[in-house]
Amino acid sequence: MEPTIKQLRYLLSVSEAGSFRGAADRLEIAQPTLTAQINTLENKLGVTLLERSRQGAQLTPAGRSFVPFIETILDQVASIRRLADEADGSLIGTYRLGVPPTLGPYFLPEVVPTIHSSFPDLKMFVRENAPRDLEVGLLHGEYDFIVTTLPMEIPNLSVEPLFNEPLVLVCAPDHAFAQQDEVQPADLKGESLLAIEEKHRLFDLMQTIAAQFSARLLRDYEGTSLDTLRHMIGTGLGIAFLPALYVKSEITSRQDVKSMNFVGPSFARGVVLAWRPGSRRAELYKKIAEIMRAVSRKNLSGHVTLDMQITGYDGGRL
Amino acid sequence: MEPTIKQLRYLLSVSEAGSFRGAADRLEIAQPTLTAQINTLENKLGVTLLERSRQGAQLTPAGRSFVPFIETILDQVASIRRLADEADGSLIGTYRLGVPPTLGPYFLPEVVPTIHSSFPDLKMFVRENAPRDLEVGLLHGEYDFIVTTLPMEIPNLSVEPLFNEPLVLVCAPDHAFAQQDEVQPADLKGESLLAIEEKHRLFDLMQTIAAQFSARLLRDYEGTSLDTLRHMIGTGLGIAFLPALYVKSEITSRQDVKSMNFVGPSFARGVVLAWRPGSRRAELYKKIAEIMRAVSRKNLSGHVTLDMQITGYDGGRL
DNA sequence: TTCTATGATAGCTAAATACTATCACATAAT
DNA sequence: ATTATGTGATAGTATTTAGCTATCATAGAA
């Protein structure tokens, strides 16, 4: 029992034309059709909207009250039509990208300019979250695609591999390690090892490293962010293995912390681009992943490796 | 090929419910109906609006772009519904009243308060125009009802008589007439008689008076308004017969012009309320006319007379 | 008096909207 | 591994709506 857009348009057309026949001509419908539709609209609203005479028709005072609403509706409908027309062959809408805070700020600035060059019309809205929250959010429609780390917890998402990002040993300048050219695995035994909060998947890797080399994982001093970890390292609370892109961006140029050449097995986290299997934009996301790999290969080859293959959501486990 | 309000409402409902079945339940329609309507909407716009999966559905980035427009449309539709509901049994809308500038400002202030007491919900928008333009405009829908003077030029309008408004002789204080207690018709012979612009029906009456008493109608000094006439009278350019309500309002309390007791035949213009015969508000206008007569009888009886009967658009010719 | 223009009504058809029944598929529960 | 449950989609059908033509009643113009 609500009006239709056609009925509203018909009413305004009668008002403008000054008669049913004149309006019917403009609308390219038969005059009895117009009469019927206006009558139906008046019945739906329970208000007489037009005053009819042999000289034609015009809006009643009540009818005029509806005009601003009707004009707004028709204007918004025209906007929808225009937007739909513009959408043809273009990337309409704002795409929501989720990234881990331990990676996004140190990686996206490297690749976003190239993505924008390739897709000038693409609008992205970036939001950070822990990897498992990213994956759950992707599933629930909070993101359109995400950069996340392996191993993923949500199965059956579509995945494109990006790179492996090693972890780099970092200590204070006055730490014993800092006077050495390199650090041996045996050197880690008994060392205090700092780690990020447990909700970050990176924590798992840091815990694995601590266990493997019998270092003491300090649980009372978990960093809420990589920067917080850096500050704690600098004050001599302990040492830590930090992601290579973070080290490149925030450690290398500093005096209060030092990255070390750890001579031992390499630990790295796999980084992938993921989206929902049902997404109609799979090709777009694949292309974005290609760009991310290409830029990483060109600009970040000393910091990440790109030789991994993904065969399932468990893929990439080191 | 444009969207319907129902389809737009269906789309938002799926977005909010997170699934077709959930939305169908809320909308109280069958799920296949919803699926079909969304598919039709997507075909009309040529844009994929929803991403479907077994976990449910959510808007695509493109789909999200349409949401502000759709929300505005649905909000305006709700406003139309509310306005329609409020219209039940009330005087919805703004009624446009047309009045002659030689009468409206001196008459409406007398009656509008009483009209508002009787119809608190009535909104009137008053606009001035020359009588023949008022009548043409009424026919063309520019006014809903008008106060106009006789004789009317447009036939077959619905008319309610208000009153007869005499013309009163006015001259400068230093005019010879001002020293007399009364002015005889013979005194007018050869006198310079000022008149308002020809487009006002009042001009016709002023011309008739000049002819009947052999006064000289000054055509080079036509006043564009009654106030302009008053100024010219005050500077001694000539004398004039002015409407009684104007004289009451603007002459009686002044020192620079004087109204005279003209001992001769009375000249008056008939004043009526008119509206289109097809108007659905005839009863309202009749009641307004009754109020205007009652207020005139009570407050203006020394200035206008109310004994006239209208039998046609020529009625009231004196 | 006749012609022309107005809005309204009647009867009919095509298109749109809505239904039920059922399908294919994927995930959860057993 | 099997069964149950939930998802969106399809097929066939019924109902409603929108549109048509033909014609009406009425009023004003010619």
- Average pLDDT value over all residues in chain A: 86
- What is the distance, to the nearest Å, from the Cα of residue B225 to the centroid of all Cα atoms in its chain? 20
Share of chain A above pLDDT 90, in %: 31
Question: What does the pLDDT read at residue A2?
Answer: 85
Residue B158 contacts A, CB cutoff 8 Å: no
Which residues numbered 84-103 in A keep a CB inside 8 Å of some CB on B? 84-85, 87-88, 91-96
Q: Distance (Å, rounded) from C-alpha A147 to C-alpha A103?
A: 9
Question: What does the pLDDT read at residue A311?
Answer: 42
Residue A278 pLDDT > 50: yes
Q: Distance (Å, rounded) from C-alpha A140 to C-alpha B19?
A: 11
Question: What does the pLDDT read at residue A312?
Answer: 40
Q: Distance (Å, rounded) from C-alpha B141 to C-alpha B149?
A: 19
Residue A3 pLDDT > 60: yes
Among the partner residues A18, A65, A276, nearest to B53 by beta-carbon distance: A276
The domain spans of chain A are 5-87, 89-318
Q: How far is B110 from chain A, CA to nearest CA, in Å?
A: 24
Confidence of residue A306 (pLDDT cuts 50, 70, 90): confident
The two tokens of residue A290 are: 């290609």
Question: What does the pLDDT read at residue B309?
Answer: 56
B121-133: b (≥16 Cβ within 10 Å) or e: ebebeeeebbbbb
B89-318 belongs to CATH 3.30.420.40: no
Residue A314 pLDDT > 80: no
Q: Which 8-state DSSP code applies to residue A117?
A: H
- Residue B5: what residue type? I
Query: Is A4's CB within 8 Å of B3's CB?
Result: no
Q: What is the mean pLDDT of residues B18-43?
A: 92
Among the partner residues A4, A47, A84, nearest to B45 by beta-carbon distance: A84
Q: Distance (Å, rounded) from C-alpha A208 to C-alpha A225?
A: 19
Confidence of residue B311 (pLDDT cuts 50, 70, 90): very low
For the ranges A17-21, A229-233, B204-208, B263-267, the one whose mean pLDDT is highest: A17-21
For residue B61, list chain A residues with Cβ-Cβ distance below 8 A: 91-96, 144, 281
For residue A85, list chain B residues with Cβ-Cβ distance below 8 A: 46
Alpha helices (runs of H) in A18-158, residue ranges in sequence order: 20-27, 31-45, 61-87, 104-118, 131-139
Angle at A291 between CA B60 and CA B46, to 5 degrees: 25
Closest chain B residue to A282, measured at CA? B51
- As its CATH architecture, domain B5-87 has Orthogonal Bundle (1.10)
Residue B60 contacts A, CB cutoff 8 Å: yes
Question: What does the pLDDT read at residue A275?
Answer: 86
Tell me whether residue A137 is exposed, middle or buried, using C-beta atoms within 10 angstroms of its C-beta: 0 to 12, 13 to 18, 19 or more. middle
Residue A78 contacts B, CB cutoff 8 Å: no
Closest chain B residue to A1, measured at CA? B81
Question: What does the pLDDT read at residue B89?
Answer: 57
Share of chain B above pLDDT 90, in %: 32
How long is the CA B171 to C1' D7 vector, in angstroms? 93
Q: How far is A248 from chain B, CA to nearest CA, in Å?
A: 34
Residue A53 contacts B, CB cutoff 8 Å: yes
Query: Is nucleic acid strand C under 7 Å from A229's C-beta?
Result: no
Q: How far is A310 from chain B, CA to nearest CA, in Å?
A: 23
Selection from A144, A143, A139, A134 nearest residue A157 by Cα: A139
Which nucleotide has the shortest C1'-to-CA distance from A29?
D19
Among the partner residues B47, B63, B87, nearest to A47 by beta-carbon distance: B87
Confidence of residue B314 (pLDDT cuts 50, 70, 90): very low
Q: What is the mean pLDDT of residues A263-283?
A: 84
Question: What does the pLDDT read at residue B247?
Answer: 93
Residue A34 pLDDT > 90: yes
For residue A281, list chain B residues with Cβ-Cβ distance below 8 A: 60-61
Q: What share of chain A is helix, strand, coil (3-state, %, to 5)?
A: 45, 20, 35
Residue B75 phi, psi (nearest 5): -70, -40
Share of chain B above pLDDT 70, in %: 94
Confidence of residue A245 (pLDDT cuts 50, 70, 90): very high
Q: How far is B56 from chain A, CA to nearest CA, in Å?
A: 9
Q: Which 8-state DSSP code applies to residue B250?
A: I
Closest chain A residue to B81, measured at CA? A45
Residue found by looking up tokens 């008689």 in the block: B193
Residue A310 pLDDT > 70: no
Question: What does the pLDDT read at residue A282?
Answer: 78
Q: What is the mean pLDDT of residues A269-274?
A: 90
Closest chain A residue to B15, measured at CA? A141
Question: What does the pLDDT read at residue B313?
Answer: 41
Query: Is A3's CB within 8 Å of B77's CB?
Result: yes
Residue A309 pLDDT > 70: no
Query: Is B72's CB within 8 Å of A76's CB?
Result: yes
pLDDT tens profile B65-76: 999 999 999 999
pLDDT tens profile B156-192: 788 888 999 999 999 998 888 888 888 999 999 999 9
Which one is predicted more confidently, B55 or A250? Answer: A250
Question: What does the pLDDT read at residue A66?
Answer: 93
Residue A81 contacts B, CB cutoff 8 Å: yes
The two tokens of residue B136 are: 């043409």
Predicted complex ipTM exceeds 0.85: no
How long is the CA A51 to C1' C22 vector, in angstroms? 52
pLDDT tens profile A176-221: 888 888 999 999 999 989 988 888 888 888 888 999 999 988 877 7
- Average pLDDT value over all residues in chain B: 86
Confidence of residue B317 (pLDDT cuts 50, 70, 90): very low
Residue B317 phi, psi (nearest 5): -65, 125
Q: Distance (Å, rounded) from C-alpha A24 to C-alpha A32?
A: 9
Which one is predicted more confidently, B158 or A311? Answer: B158
Among the partner residues A52, A59, A66, nearest to B80 by beta-carbon distance: A66
Q: How far is B316 from chain A, CA to nearest CA, in Å?
A: 26
Residue B310 pLDDT > 60: no
How long is the CA A74 to C1' D25 vector, in angstroms? 35
Query: Is nucleic acid strand C under 7 Å from A10's C-beta?
Result: no
Query: Which nucleotides along chain D are within 7 A of a protein C-beta?
Result: 6-12, 18-23, 26-28
Query: Is nucleic acid strand C under 7 Å from A35's C-beta?
Result: yes
Which one is predicted more confidently, A278 or B207? Answer: B207
pLDDT tens profile A130-157: 888 888 788 777 788 899 988 887 777 8
Residue B11 pLDDT > 90: yes
Q: What is the mean pLDDT of residues B111-128?
A: 85
Which nucleotide has the shortest C1'-to-CA distance from B34?
C18
Question: What does the pLDDT read at residue B67?
Answer: 95
How long is the CA A54 to C1' D29 vector, in angstroms? 13
Question: What does the pLDDT read at residue B179?
Answer: 87
Residue B44 pLDDT > 60: yes
Confidence of residue B131 (pLDDT cuts 50, 70, 90): confident
Which one is predicted more confidently, B1 or B34? Answer: B34
Query: Is A69's CB within 8 Å of B48's CB?
Result: no
Question: What does the pLDDT read at residue A129?
Answer: 87
Q: Could you tell me how many CB contacts below 8 A there are between chain A and chain B? A: 148
